Amino acid sequence: MTTTVRGSRRPVHHRARWRGAAIGLAFVLPMFVLFVLFRFGPFLGGLVLAFSEYTLGGGIEWTGLANFERLAEDKLFWQALVVTVIFTVISVPLLIAVATGMALLVRRKFRGVSFFRSVFFLPVITSLVLAGIIFVWIFNSGGPVPRLMGALGLTEQSWLTSETLAIPAVAIVSVWGRFGFDMLIVLARLQDIPRELDEAAMMDGANGWQRFRSVTLPQLRPVFFFLSVIEVIGSFQVFDAVYIMTGGGPGNATYTLGFMLYDQAFRYFDFGYASAVALVLFVIVLMLALVQRRIFDRED
The angle formed by the CA atoms of residues 73, 75 and 78, to the nearest 5 degrees, is 100
Number of neighbouring beta carbons within 10 Å of residue 226? 16
Whether 24 and 89 map to the same domain: the answer is no
Whether 180 and 33 map to the same domain: the answer is no
- How do residues 167-176 score in pLDDT, each as one tens digit? 999 999 999 9
Whether 152 and 227 map to the same domain: the answer is yes
Amino acid letter, 280: V
Q: What is the pTM of this model?
A: 0.84
Q: Flag whether 58 is in a domain.
A: no
Quote the number of domains for the chain: 2
3-class DSSP state of 163: coil
For residues 216 and 40, the answer to whether their CB atoms sit within 8 Å is: no
4 pLDDT band, cuts 50/70/90, is very low
| 67 vs 114, more confident | 67
Q: How many residues in total does the chain contain?
A: 300
What does residue 181 show for φ and ψ, rounded to 5 degrees? -65, -45
Q: Flag whether 166 is in a domain.
A: yes
Q: Flag whether 241 is in a domain.
A: yes
Number of neighbouring beta carbons within 10 Å of residue 179? 26
Q: Flag whether 131 is in a domain.
A: yes
Whether 178 and 252 map to the same domain: the answer is yes
Q: Which own/partner pairs from 106-110 qualify as long-range (CB within 8 Å, at least 24 positions apart)?
A: 106/183, 106/187, 107/187, 107/190, 107/191
181 pLDDT band, cuts 50/70/90, is very high
For residues 274 and 47, the answer to whether their CB atoms sit within 8 Å is: no
Q: What is the sign, positive or negative, of the torsion defined by CA atoms of 186, 190, 191, 192? A: positive
- Cross-strand bridge partners of residue 61: 53
Whether 87 and 42 map to the same domain: the answer is no
Q: Flag whether 64 is in a domain.
A: no
55 pLDDT band, cuts 50/70/90, is confident
Most distant CA pair in the chain, distance:
96
Distance CA 119, CA 101 (A): 15
Distance CA 207, CA 205 (A): 6
Distance CA 244, CA 139 (A): 13
Whether 20 and 142 map to the same domain: the answer is no
Q: Which domain holds residue 42?
A: 2-50
For residue 173, give the CATH number of its domain.
Answer: 1.10.3720.10
Average pLDDT, the chain: 87
**Which residues, including other chains, have CB under 8 Å from residue 200's CB and lie 6 or more apart?**
none
Q: Flag whether 59 is in a domain.
A: no
Whether 20 and 86 map to the same domain: the answer is no
**Which residues, including other chains, have CB under 8 Å from residue 41's CB and lie 6 or more apart?**
none
Distance CA 47, CA 69 (A): 16
Distance CA 242, CA 248 (A): 6
Whether 40 and 127 map to the same domain: the answer is no
For residues 193 and 216, the answer to whether their CB atoms sit within 8 Å is: yes
- How do residues 82-111 score in pLDDT, each as one tens digit? 999 999 999 999 999 999 999 988 887 778
What does residue 74 show for φ and ψ, rounded to 5 degrees? -90, 110
Q: Flag whether 63 is in a domain.
A: no
**Which residues, including other chains, have CB under 8 Å from residue 238's CB and lie 6 or more apart?**
84, 87, 91, 170, 174, 256, 258
39 pLDDT band, cuts 50/70/90, is confident
**47: Cα separation from own chain's centroid:** 22
Whether 16 and 78 map to the same domain: the answer is no
Quick check: 156 pLDDT over 80? yes
For residues 92 and 228, the answer to whether their CB atoms sit within 8 Å is: yes
Whether 10 and 74 map to the same domain: the answer is no
Quick check: 196 pLDDT over 90? no
Whether 144 and 24 map to the same domain: the answer is no
Whether 159 and 22 map to the same domain: the answer is no
Distance CA 135, CA 127 (A): 12
Q: Flag whether 57 is in a domain.
A: no
Query: For the chain, what is the total number of helices (H) and then of strands (E)?
Result: 15, 2
Query: Looking at 55-64, 66-75, 144-153, which range is the least confident one?
Result: 55-64
| 283 vs 7, more confident | 283
292 pLDDT band, cuts 50/70/90, is confident
